[in-house]
Structure 1
């Protein structure tokens, strides 16, 4: 993808390379800058909260199932907070008590 974008840029078409750079910048902002600037309860895109344990897809599924406190904006982007992800992380490793038959 990168090489194709570079070849196209060499031929005078800079669109693909510009998009590649813009996406990389947005991903880095969401993964590294936003989480460190936002407080623990500030709502940020799930991409800013993903880590080695929870991918963006896993967090989205948890939000859709109601297990992670999150909201989906009018732009379609799911947002949550560090505090909510930590609460989800703590609850995920606890088993709910089994119901006994009466």
Structure 2
């Protein structure tokens, strides 16, 4: 709540990060704030990509695949669809795959359709 009051986006620490969070808190209590700072910074960055960027970008704007993750499509599933050419996406020179909400919707609509090989292939 303190970060939100200061104008920062909310930070969500997931249950699977509980052990790392508790260890970072113990280190912070001992005067070493590095681990806690890193954990909070990474969580803030992930949440920006997950919640803020897609809403600001609009449906056709390219955003990192991490920003397009839903309950239906994990990051791994979107990356695999991108690599296989099933999802319209591009990999930047930084190695990050980017796509759009519009492309994900198109993938959703066609992902269960069978691909047929041309005769003689």
Aligned residue for 2:66, secondary structure, equals helix
Tell me whether 16-25 or 86-95 shows the greater mean CA deviation.
86-95
Compare relative contact order (CA 8 Å, sep 6+) and give the higher one, 1 or 2: 1
TM-score after normalising by structure 1: 0.90
Superposition RMSD on alpha carbons, in Å? 1.6
Residue matched to 1:60 = 79
Residue matched to 2:30 = 11
CA distances 1:7-39 after superposition (whole Å, capped 9, x unpaired): 111111111000100111011111111111111
CA distances 1:42-83 after superposition (whole Å, capped 9, x unpaired): 000001101011000000000011111111112111100011
Residue matched to 2:89 = 70
Q: Which runs of 5+ in 1 are unaligned?
A: none
Number of residue pairs aligned between Structure 1 and Structure 2: 101
Residue matched to 1:90 = 109
Which runs of structure 1 show a deviation greater than 6 angstroms over 4 or more consecutive aligned residues?
A: 98-101
TM-score after normalising by structure 2: 0.77
Q: Which runs of 5+ in 2 are unaligned?
A: 1-19
Task: Say which of 56, 59, 72 aligns to 1:37.
Answer: 56
